[in-house]
Structure 1
Amino acid sequence: MSNSPSDYTPRPMSSRTTYALGAVALVLILLIVFFAYRWGSDNAEVRNDGYGSVRNPAVTTAVQSDGGVRLGLPDAPKTLEIYEDPMCPGCGNLEHLYGQELAQKVDEGKLAIRYRFVNFLDPKSTDGAYSTRATAALQCVAETGSGITYSKFHDTLFTTRQPEEGSGLSDDELATMATDAGAPQSAHDCIATGARIEEARTQASAAVEDLKAALEGDAATPSVFDVATKIDLEQHDWVQQVAP
């Protein structure tokens, strides 16, 4: 059998095909940029800008048996379930864009929020445990029962002080943030000593499995549920829709 090279010379791609492929690639790039901008841009609309975090002293917090944190008035007629990872940039954007609107709805008694914290971004932090430690810190503050304090701490943790992937905050820094939010010494000590970390690790891992089940295998944050219905966060008036 001859091993000589073939005399076949492939025909060059036509200009029309080249332009078509280029156009498709350009459209895909523009779509990616558009959705990244829509979700992550600082120019996106901040709902109820200026309201701030929860301010109603009757709003309480409680750490539930599965590690979830409930924020709201005791008789709130509706409870949203929000899955977040403390290091998740999309979760930070969610709180930046909608946190103040949610806070007002909670103050008005129109809804309560049950936060479920997950920790699959632990490996993205400096010490490999930031999401777990931040979850423990949130639970320490929630144990105090103050909705105002918890809301302020949660807001700070996810917006102005949220660390970038590859970094993190120490327990001492988290404890100081809690104190600045109005938490008592007991919460400060709970965070600084890591009292809830191991329990929070187990609960956050279980929350990941619950989220996978709710999303049929894809654990993505942020995810918001009204009972079993996943809310479309691309609808910028979704808070108003669930709690008019």
Structure 2
Amino acid sequence: MSESRSNYTPRPMSSTTTYALGAVALALIVLIVIAAVRWGRDEPTVRNDGYGPVRDQAVHSMLEPSGSILLGRPDAKKTIDLFEDPLCPGCGNLERIYSQEIAQQIDVGALAVRYRLVNFLDARSQSKDYSTRAVAANQCVAEAGSGPVYAKFHSELFTTKRPSEGGRDLNNDELAAVARDAGAAESALQCITTGAKVDFARTTAMAQTTALGEALGGSAATPAVFYGTTKIDANDENWVTSLTK
């Protein structure tokens, strides 16, 4: 390798120039960091946006003895178990992104969902029992049997009506109002306002939390989706279509 030499001797850089270039470099770094943060926060695309909740009147909701809620057609090909806490932000995101895609698969009989609702975020609600009361409200509405009504109520409660942790939550009358808007029967509204299922909800939600902890090897975290004993990666944007192929 040849090396060329020059008699040119560079002049020392002034402190003013050094500070100016340093400021430019710092500004560039800040811009890069901001761009990276924004890129990392890009919201996933809502799947099947515009479909809405379950539509088919042949879809039923059933409150099981365990407190789980089964939503689907009697001839559904596959059933998944979905663990959620009504106060959980991640559960809200899952519902916001995938609930319409899931609803369509429920309508065509490709999928049924067993909602296994937990209440370990009670302490993070202002009322200190919101998760339990919201689980009870879900059970009241599901027991009436209408799939479209329950699907609409569940979707609203986990998305647009979901309180923030530590913020003001919904009292029983407000939970009943959400159910009324979803088309719930008067018996379901009375069930919610009187708190008729709160004790049942507390017991079943705690049992579901224990089951979730066992399924996850000791740590209960929501949302969690299972097909049988297989945990589904809900971070994979194609997980619903992969299940229903």
- TM-score under structure 1 normalisation? 0.84
Give secondary structure in 1 for the equivalent of 2:164: coil
Identify the residue that residue 121 of structure 1 maps to in structure 2.
Answer: 121
1:9-67 Cα offsets, whole Å, 9 max, x none, are xxxxxxxxxxxxxxxxxxxx99x958973xxx5x3210000000000000000000110
CA distance in 2, matches of 1:46, 1:153: 19
Question: Where do 5+ consecutive residues of structure 1 fail to align?
Answer: 1-28
Which residue is equivalent to 1:101?
Answer: 101
Q: 1:35 to 1:154 in 2, by over 3 A?
A: farther
Structure 1 residues 35, 234: CA separation in 2 closer, same or farther (over 3 Å shift)? farther
Name 2:153's counterpart in structure 1: 153
Read off the aligned partner of 2:126 and give its amino acid letter.
T
Instruction: Name 2:73's counterpart in structure 1.
Output: 73
Instruction: Tell me how far apart the structure 1 counterparts of residues 220 and 156 of structure 2 sit (CA, whole Å).
Output: 24
Task: Look up the match of 1:142.
Answer: 142
- Matched with 1:51 is 51
Percent of pairs with identical residues: 54
SS in 1 for 2:46: coil
Deviation of 1:181 (Å):
0.3
Residue equivalent to 1:183 = 184
Shift of 1:159: 0.5
- Specify the alignment match of 2:20 in structure 1: none
Q: What residue in structure 1 maps to residue 91 of structure 2? A: 91
Query: What's the counterpart of residue 235 of structure 2?
Result: 234
Whole-Å separation in 2 of the counterparts to 1:96 and 1:53: 11
One-letter amino acid of the counterpart of residue 176, structure 1: A
Distance 1:136 1:226 in 2: 25
Report the equivalent of 1:214. 215
CA distance in 1, matches of 2:116, 2:143: 15
Question: In structure 1, what is the equivalent of residue 164 of structure 2?
Answer: 164
TM-score normalised per structure 2: 0.83
Whole-angstrom distance in 2 between the partners of 1:141 and 1:219: 26
RMSD of aligned Cα (Å): 1.8
Structure with greater Cα Rg:
2
The Cα offsets for residues 72-121 of structure 1, whole Å up to 9 and x where unpaired, read as 00111210000000000000000000000000000000010000000000
Task: State the 1:156 CA deviation.
Answer: 0.3
Aligned partner of 1:23 in structure 2 is none
The equivalent residue for 2:205 is: 204
What secondary structure, in the 3-state scheme, does the structure 1 residue paired with 2:222 have?
A: coil
Deviation >2 Å, runs of 4+: 32-37
- Opposite residue 157 of structure 1, the aligned amino acid is L
